Homo-oligomer: A and B are copies of this chain.
Amino acid sequence: MEEANPGTVRPGGRTARVRAAVLRAAGDALAEQGFAHLDLADIARRADVGKTTVYRRWGTVTSLVADLLVDMAEQSLPRTETGSLLGDLKANARLVQRTLADPRQGKLFKAVIAAATCDAGTADALHRFYAIRIAEWAPCVRQAIDRGEAPEGTDPHDVIRAVSAPLYYRLLTSADPLDEATADRAAEAAVAATRAGAYRR
């Protein structure tokens, strides 16, 4: 007789309220202090729940981060459409830039990336989160192919990744500003490379 994980038999009601409060508290704490010294008892206090509950339901910091990533993936924004590849990729770059440059969101993303380096389950959740984001924006590259703005055989996922990569690299490896010019440059570079066939497979 396999025992169900806590919170899975009755996922609604109080259980859902506790999850929401704990995930909100976790996001706040991650943004404030990063991943390293995250303390589940502190999360419990912030969420106004018992620390036993947090240990029972999530067990470890990285499991809590993985659950937060699942929640973030469910909440993420749909893409916009501008009618041109450059316009779409600039919109995407600006969205990523605004997120990473936001004091709370930028730190939160750093923290979840750090957590994912330390735990396979969290890494899976992070990979899924980004796969969902990339899949959300990939159609704009397909549309560009249809409009003749990108060569046949261009991999849409590669193009979308090429827009985000310089912004994340900047966030994680330097203290350089993450401004709109940087975002626009990332989009322009991705468009130029796309047109030149660099992402053809």
A4 within 8 A of B: no
A13–B123 CA distance with the chains assembled, in angstroms: 42
* Contact-residue size bin, chain A (C-beta under 8 Å from the other chain): 35 or more
A172–B170 CA distance with the chains assembled, in angstroms: 13
Contact B172 A113 (CB under 8 A): yes
CB distance from A143 to the nearest CB of B (A): 20
A26 within 8 A of B: no
CB distance from A41 to the nearest CB of B (A): 17
The listed residue (B124, B173, B196) touching A130 by CB distance below 8 A is B173
A175-B113 CB under 8 A given contacts A170-B161, A189-B199, A192-B196: no
Interface-lining segment among A47-55, A74-82, A114-122: A114-122
Chain A's interface: helix, strand, loop or mixed, by majority?
helix
CB distance from A17 to the nearest CB of B (A): 29
Chain B residues whose C-beta falls within 8 Å of the C-beta of A170 in the assembled complex = 161, 165
Across the interface, name the chain B residue whose C-beta is closest to A37: B118
Contact B172 A161 (CB under 8 A): no
Contact A117 B110 (CB under 8 A): yes
A118-B35 CB under 8 A given contacts A192-B192, A198-B188: yes
Chain B residues whose C-beta falls within 8 Å of the C-beta of A7 in the assembled complex = none
The listed residue (B126, B196, B197) touching A173 by CB distance below 8 A is B126
A165-B174 CB under 8 A given contacts A62-B36, A117-B114: no
A34 within 8 A of B: yes
A35–B118 CA distance with the chains assembled, in angstroms: 7
Chain B residues whose C-beta falls within 8 Å of the C-beta of A175 in the assembled complex = 123-124, 127
Contact B166 A162 (CB under 8 A): yes
The listed residue (B61, B114, B169, B189) touching A198 by CB distance below 8 A is B189
Contact A174 B127 (CB under 8 A): yes
A131 within 8 A of B: yes
